Each structure stands twice: as C-alpha cells, then as structure tokens.
Amino acid sequence: MIGCWHTSHPPEPARKAMQVEPLTVFQLNFSDTLRLHLGILTEAFIRYQISD
C-alpha cells in the first residue's frame, strides 16, 4: 500500500515533470493502482494455496 501511495503521489518536481508529454503515462491514480496490486496479490495467493 505504501508503494502505491508513493508512486501515485510523487515529489513536486517529478509531479510537474509528469504533466508534460510523453511523461504523462507515469501519472497514476492511487485507488486504481492499489486495486490492481491487491488483485494480483490475491490471485497469486489463491494459486499458491491451490498448488499446495
């Protein structure tokens, strides 16, 4: 969760730089990023449980 927060709330100089093309691709939304990470972790946990 901390990593998701950190990447979606970069320091001011990085945030300003990411407002200019082509760096806009690095702008992340916290809730979307967290949802994606939790989904990946959940899927990996389920696969691990099944393989045991």
Tokens 């200019």 — which residue?
A: 20
Cβ distance 30 to 4 under 8 Å? yes
User: pTM of the entire structure?
Assistant: 0.64
Q: What is the reported pLDDT for 43?
A: 96
Token readout for 26 is: 């690095």
Full pLDDT tens readout for the chain, 52 residues: 777 788 889 899 999 999 999 999 888 888 999 999 999 999 999 999 998 7
Cβ distance 32 to 5 under 8 Å? no
d(CA 1, CA 37): 8
pLDDT tens digit string along 6-18?
888 989 999 999 9
